[in-house]
Amino acid sequence: MTIKVIKEKWTDSSKQAQNRVTKYWSLSDELCDAWVAFDVMACTASILNLTAISVDR
């Protein structure tokens, strides 16, 4: 999978979750993209941190 496909799927799932609660997407597409990018970055950093700790021990 390419980054673009992953981003599209995560963006779609974020929008779907928002739509389920409010029945419409009230935030801008740019904010959604930024939130998804931050979420991916934070998850990746967490995984890399756990990996580094386990390699260190």
| Chain segment 26-53, per-residue pLDDT in tens | 778 888 888 888 988 999 999 999 999 9
Per the structure, the count of domains in the chain is: 1
CA dihedral (47, 49, 54, 55) positive or negative: positive
CA dihedral (24, 28, 30, 31) positive or negative: negative
| Chain segment 2-26, per-residue pLDDT in tens | 666 666 666 666 666 666 666 666 7
User: 11 near 36, Cβ under 8 Å?
Assistant: yes
Domain that holds residue 39: 3-56
Residue type, position 45, single letter: A
